[in-house]
Amino acid sequence: MAKTAYKTSLFIFRRDLRLEDNTALNAALNQSGQVIACFIFDPRQIQTHPYQSTPGLQFMLESLNDLQQQLQQQGALLYIFNAQPAHLLQPLQQDLGIEAVFVNRDYSPFSRQRDNELREQCETLHLAFHSQADLLLTEPEQGLRSNGKPYQVFTAFHRQARLQPVSAPQGLAAGKLSAKAYAGHKPEVIQQLQQPHQNALPGGRQAALARLAIIGNCKNYLAVRDFPAMAATSQLSAYLKFGCCSVREAFYSIQAELDPDHPLLRQLYWRDFFTHIGFHFPHVFGHAFDRRYDGLLWRNGQEDFWAWANGQTGFPIVDAAMRELNQTGWMHNRLRMIVASFLVKDLHVSWRWGERYFAQRLLDYDPCVNNGNWQWAASTGCDAQPYFRIFNPWLQQKKFDPQCAYIKTWIPELQRFPAEVIHKWEKHPQAGDYPRPRVDHGLQSQLIKAQFKALGNTTAPAA
């Protein structure tokens, strides 16, 4: 057997809940006599906080149960710890003799701070620290313009990013995964944290592979992707968020089953783009990317926000989407744009309120992607929807749910009405238990346009 760099290494699972094509895990196995594979419940993330997602937590716990089974099949353990990661290193060094720590890189402000703490503690304890690129198709340092500055327009970013090769997926490297008993291992934490939620999708590697196996069903994706009543999207986002499959596996499955230039690939690069923006411009977590628009005067009506969040606005396509989100943790991408535009530009509620609500409800919540999408819809972000282009919910539902099949699925109060009545609800709302439209879309659109126009003529403060 070839001599390895380390006798015992620690690998920490985070957003990579799989064994195959796991870059840092394979690096640890290749360089170590044995690898202790663990997952750490960081109290800063698990304890109640404003951005905690119950559906997302449930999806992650299901994925961890699946990962435990994968490791058991390898004759190994998934070690479970409950502490801040940096605080664990010294006892693991003393008790298990770890010499190195391996992780896959992450990019949000919290993730970067956590990994800086890990790196500093490794230096203090004279442990090697290895952080690998795994989560994205392109690293933030790769997605730069010729002048060394980050792209702020997706089209230009995408053109450059597509030129970079994407590594082929790799299996699980040979090597020894530890099954040694350890008193600090707390497998019961997974069950203690269970808060069962009827998610739209189950978590785990097997479910991710099942989604990839039917990716060929997205052959007509471009033509039908915007119709929420049709199962026309890949629904891979949650599996990519938690790494139940790798982005490389998704990339090559799409190319093999569909087309080397299939439009779904573009969505993977949007994910990269928003992650790069969050990495290079961390002020977006709390401020508009375009700081001029921090000056927007939001009404932030509590009753308006409650009506939006609970699907009671009197705008059927908006309400159906929010009810599905609340019940299942899932929302179709077209609907995410519609409800975001409605909250910001019809109800004049800050995009940050919507960003936080989505974080609490989405099972695929990703800080960078969620922020990027909300700022796009709010016209405050980079390469955003122009402020004067405002989604008209009446036209959107007529175009993308013409028979109201989706609306009637989630709004039983409207099931007895024909589609033509539902599409004209703002003009002739019927008596009953479904509310009248809360606002006049045309009037509210004009008011928000005037605000944007006034602020657009000012100079943006330094980020």
pLDDT greater than 70 at residue 240:
yes
Residues 398-405: what's their mean pLDDT? 98
Predicted local confidence at residue 388, as pLDDT: 87
Q: Kindly give, in sequence order, each residue whose CB lies less than 8 Å from that of residue 217, ignoring residues fewer than 6 positions away.
A: 231
For position 143, what pLDDT does the model report? Answer: 85
Alpha-carbon distance of 153 to 136, in angstroms, equals 18
Mean pLDDT of the chain: 94
pLDDT of residue 458: 56
Summarised one tens digit per residue, pLDDT across range 143-157 is 899 999 999 999 999
As to burial, measured by CB atoms within 10 angstroms (0-12 exposed, 13-18 middle, 19+ buried), residue 197 is middle
Quote the pTM value. Answer: 0.95
Q: Does position 455 have pLDDT exceeding 90, yes or no?
A: no
**Cα 147 off chain centre by:** 30
Instruction: State the pLDDT at residue 2.
Output: 59
Give the pLDDT of residue 52: 83
Residues 291-310: what's their mean pLDDT? Answer: 96
CB under 8 Å to 364, separation ≥6 — which residues? 56, 59, 237, 238, 240, 241, 329, 330
What percentage of the chain reaches a pLDDT higher than 90? 88
Domains of the chain, CATH where assigned = 1-134 (3.40.50.620), 136-167+205-280 (1.25.40.80), 284-454 (1.10.579.10)
Cβ-based burial of 223 (10 A; exposed 0-12, middle 13-18, buried ≥19): exposed
> What confidence score (pLDDT) does residue 462 get?
41
pLDDT category at 460 given cuts 50, 70, 90 is very low
Per residue in 342-360, pLDDT (tens digit) is 999 999 999 999 999 999 9
Read off the pLDDT of residues 415-438 as tens digits, 9 standing for 90 and up: 999 999 999 998 877 777 899 999
pLDDT number for residue 49:
74
Q: What's the confidence (pLDDT) of residue 116?
A: 98
User: Would you state the pLDDT for residue 203?
Assistant: 97
Distance CA 281, CA 277 (A): 6
pLDDT of residue 457: 60
- pLDDT band of residue 1 (cuts 50, 70, 90) is very low
Q: Distance between CA 373 and CA 300 in Å, rounded?
A: 20
Query: Any idea which residue has 């993308």 for tokens?
Result: 400
